[in-house]
Amino acid sequence: MRTPPLRRSTLMIVALSLFASLTLLTAVPLFADEPGPGAAGIAAMGAAFLFMFVIFAAVYIYIALALQTIAKKTNTENAWWAWIPIIQAVLMLNVAKKPVWWIILFFVPLVNIVIAIMVWMAIAEARNKPSWWGILLIVPVVGIIVPGYLAWSD
């Protein structure tokens, strides 16, 4: 996914929300008059959490690898920044040749969507691809494919 910061932050919010929900669900029996879900229910919740964690980790690794590859192909310094969450956005701005102060705009709700699209459009241009590839980032399933295409296509 990711990762554009928008995708990554959305995924992180979803994953953390699910984790918080599962945590609260396991605490409910402590305060209820009824018996808890039992070992099978707790195991099912743990399995669901593990499944979500594996999916989140796989998407994060995919986005980091794609961004690192894009940085190397565009001869951008510090390609390893792709693995560090906030600094990853700085690397994206460096690849897109945008001012680093735009990092502040990634934290403004709704503005971050527009900025992420503009940055990914510039990244596509840096990879000599049409800029409309950056707009495809907002299409749910296609948005996952965009970083990989920009990284590993010729």
Question: pLDDT per residue over 62-84, tens digit each?
Answer: 999 999 999 999 999 999 999 99
Distance of CA 18 to the CA centre of its chain: 16
Smallest CA-to-CA distance from 134 within 120, 148, 150, 115 is with 120
Residues 23-50 pLDDT 10s:
666 665 555 555 556 777 788 888 889 9
Distance CA(26)–CA(20), nearest Å, equals: 10
> Per-domain residue ranges for the chain?
5-152
Distance CA(92)–CA(86), nearest Å, equals: 10
The DSSP secondary structure of 30-43, one letter per residue, reads HHSSS---HHHHHH
